């Protein structure tokens, strides 16, 4: 029989505390997030998660490790960002960022991670997530044991009632529909009793609450499993550095030739203009994405070589040269994209890719340092760089300033430009779109004043007003409020486009 871990035993023996906290967390989880993934209650949910985690740890006699609260600050900032934007991509990335920061924070409270390298850290995060999934049933098991093993007659009675209700509900799922369809008066009676109750909402809220309960309880239990592989003292198996030296020597020669051409032509020769017949769009697109892909390959290559081959000075020098060439390639890629932006303006994808290039250069810098300083915390450095850069991007509400940039830098606004802002950007951009006068927008093909854009803009703002109608405290969102106000003002000013 598998021996029960001390923390798991503590949770079982103190089920009133841990189960009660998990239930309360589930209630708050439901209030903040049910059908409301980007409202003003989202930061409240993030803060509640932090508070409950600390309460769990306090009962286990764990204290917050020094220097780790910075992860909590990042979580709160991402929570605030979520309540300020409607960009779906940012909302998704915010969720992922909050979860990862919380996982890393909690790992550092329960484990000493100073000796973990990059692959080991990733492996342990995946193990923790998997163990959490396996422990989702644990609150029910502990609850059943708590009630059934109790000597109190009252608690046994409560347990028996809960079991009876659970069985009754399962049977009613089958029996009740049959009874309702068998008698019209019986059906009318239930319709009258339940007319003011939204059954799907009740069921959805209950399911959401259960998810909050089992994930909080299961995650804490997973941390207490202590099933991370213990780092082996023996030296890991590596391969001869000759393989890595040969491989990287060939790539370094090719990269140096490529970089030489970039310096001689792109960075210096571009001042004389592009070759005949080559447009900015064609020049940027033919090189940008290829360089981005090569940069990602180089990052993976350097990381693999660091952990697969024996420590060797020549190999380190070659890897450093590859990183240096990668830096110049990234600069070339950014330069090409800036040419493209200067000609065809900003989009969310272009901003995201430029952001990624800057982050990749910063990460590669950390990789170089880790090659010559074995105790350099590369994983924490990467987490810190990505977190800080992403939080800055998320809080900036890029859709808003992308639209502002395009409106200010477009000499002759076309219907295609306006359609992009209305269809591809979130409501964050609505305030800037409202600055556009439809009487000055030209058709993309005829170059004449567009006859339809005013009607399309009216429909766009009308849909914003309809989607945001009935927004109350729990679902309030900074961008939604500003977009609604801008939409109402624009429609009032341009009544002639109302259909």
Burial string for 193-212 (b: 16+ CB within 10 Å, else e) reads: eeeeeeeeeeeebeebbbeb
Q: 405 and 382 in contact (C-beta within 8 Å)?
A: no
- Taking residues 133-143, what's their average pLDDT? 89
Q: What's the pLDDT at 234?
A: 52
Residue count (the chain): 499
Residue 170 to residue 341: CA distance in whole angstroms:
60
CA 485 from centroid of its chain's CA atoms: 28
- Taking residues 18-42, what's their average pLDDT? 92
Top-confidence residue, 254 or 261: 254
pLDDT band at 79 (very low <50, low <70, confident <90, very high): very high
How wide is the angle at C-alpha 441 spanned by C-alphas 437 and 443, nearest 5°? 160
- Taking residues 7-13, what's their average pLDDT? 89
Structure tokens at 91: 């909302």
Give whole-number Cα distances, 8 to 103, 126, 215, 225, 422, in Å.
Answer: 19, 20, 15, 7, 52
CB count within 10 Å of CB 434 equals: 24
Q: 132 and 218 in contact (C-beta within 8 Å)?
A: yes
Residue 391 to residue 407: CA distance in whole angstroms:
25
Residue in 8, 478, 495 with CA at minimum distance from that of residue 227? 8
Q: What's the pLDDT at 83?
A: 94
- Say what angle helices 42-59 and 199-224 make with each other, to 10 degrees: 40
Q: Which helix (H) or strand (E) holds 30?
A: helix 15-33
Classify residue 174 by its DSSP letter: H
* SS3 at position 449: strand
Cβ-Cβ contacts under 8 Å for 495 (sequence gap 6 or more) = none
Q: What's the pLDDT at 275?
A: 60
Structure tokens at 257: 């030739």
Question: Hey, which residues does 309 pair with through a beta bridge?
Answer: 239
**What is the four-CA torsion angle of 323, 327, 332, 337, rounded to 10 degrees?**
110
Express each pLDDT in 304-341 by its tens digit.
888 888 888 899 999 999 999 888 888 888 887 887 78
- Taking residues 431-457, what's their average pLDDT? 84
Question: Hey, which residues does 108 pair with through a beta bridge?
Answer: none
pLDDT band at 212 (very low <50, low <70, confident <90, very high): very high
Q: 441 and 421 in contact (C-beta within 8 Å)?
A: no
Q: What is the CA radius of gyration of the chain?
A: 29
Model-wide pTM > 0.85: no
Residue 274 clears pLDDT 60, i.e. is over it:
no
Q: What is the DSSP string of 90-143?
A: HHHHHHHHHHHHHHHHHHHHHS--TT--HHHHHHHHHHHHHHHHHTTTHHHHHH
Q: 78 and 94 in contact (C-beta within 8 Å)?
A: yes
* SS3 at position 239: strand
Q: What's the pLDDT at 266?
A: 60
Q: What's the pLDDT at 412?
A: 76
- Taking residues 356-370, what's their average pLDDT? 90
* SS3 at position 244: helix
Least confident of 158-172, 287-301, 388-402: 158-172
Q: 305 and 315 in contact (C-beta within 8 Å)?
A: yes
Cβ-Cβ contacts under 8 Å for 435 (sequence gap 6 or more) = 407
- Taking residues 76-84, what's their average pLDDT? 95
Question: Hey, which residues does 414 pair with through a beta bridge?
Answer: 442
pLDDT band at 464 (very low <50, low <70, confident <90, very high): very high
Residue 124 to residue 462: CA distance in whole angstroms:
49
Give whole-number Cα distances, 90 to 357, 373, 392, in Å.
Answer: 18, 35, 12
């Amino acid at each position: 029989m598998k021996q029960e871990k001390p923390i798991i035993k503590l949770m079982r023996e103190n089920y009133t505390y841990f189960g009660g906290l998990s239930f309360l967390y589930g209630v708050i989880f439901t209030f903040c997030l049910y059908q409301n993934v980007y409202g003003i209650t989202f930061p409240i949910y993030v803060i509640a998660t932090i508070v409950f985690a600390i309460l769990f740890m306090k009962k286990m006699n764990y204290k917050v490790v020094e220097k780790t609260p910075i992860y909590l600050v990042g979580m709160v900032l991402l929570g605030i960002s979520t309540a300020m934007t409607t960009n779906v991509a940012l909302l998704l990335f915010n969720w992922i960022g909050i979860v990862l920061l919380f996982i890393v924070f909690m790992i550092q409270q329960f484990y000493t991670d100073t000796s973990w390298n990059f692959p080991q850290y990733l492996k342990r995060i995946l193990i923790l997530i998997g163990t959490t999934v396996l422990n989702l049933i644990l609150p029910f098991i502990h609850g059943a044991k708590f009630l059934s093993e109790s000597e109190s007659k009252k608690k046994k009675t409560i347990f028996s009632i809960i079991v009876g209700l659970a069985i009754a509900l399962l049977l009613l799922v089958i029996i009740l529909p049959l009874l309702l369809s068998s008698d019209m008066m019986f059906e009318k009676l239930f319709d009258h009793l339940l007319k003011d109750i939204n059954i799907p909402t009740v069921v959805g809220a209950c399911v959401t609450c259960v998810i909050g309960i089992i994930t909080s309880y299961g995650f804490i239990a997973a941390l207490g499993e202590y099933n991370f592989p213990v780092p082996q003292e023996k030296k890991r198996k590596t391969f001869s550095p000759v393989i890595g030296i040969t491989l990287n020597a060939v790539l370094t020669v090719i990269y140096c030739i490529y970089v030489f051409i970039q310096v001689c032509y792109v960075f210096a020769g571009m001042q004389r203009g592009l070759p005949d017949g080559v447009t900015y769009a064609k020049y940027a697109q033919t090189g940008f994405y290829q360089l981005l892909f090569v940069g990602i390959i180089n990052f993976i290559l350097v990381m693999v070589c660091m952990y697969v081959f024996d420590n060797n000075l020549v190999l380190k020098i070659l890897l450093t040269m590859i990183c240096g060439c990668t830096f110049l390639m990234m600069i070339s890629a950014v330069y090409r994209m800036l040419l493209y932006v200067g000609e065809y303006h900003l989009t969310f994808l272009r901003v995201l890719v430029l952001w990624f290039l800057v982050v990749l250069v910063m990460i590669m810098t950390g990789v170089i340092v880790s090659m010559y300083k074995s105790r350099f915390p590369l994983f924490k450095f990467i987490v810190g760089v990505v977190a800080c850069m992403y939080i800055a991007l998320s809080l900036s509400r890029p859709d808003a300033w992308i639209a502002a940039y395009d409106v200010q830098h477009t000499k002759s606004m076309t219907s295609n430009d306006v359609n992009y802002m209305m269809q591809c950007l979130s409501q964050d951009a609505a305030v800037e779109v409202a600055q556009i006068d439809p009487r000055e927008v030209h058709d993309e093909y005829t170059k004449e004043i567009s006859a339809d854009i005013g009607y399309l803009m009216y429909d766009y703002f009308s849909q914003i007003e309809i989607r945001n109608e009935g927004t109350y405290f729990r679902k309030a969102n900074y961008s939604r409020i500003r977009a609604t106000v801008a939409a109402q003002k624009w429609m009032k000013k341009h009544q002639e486009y109302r259909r």
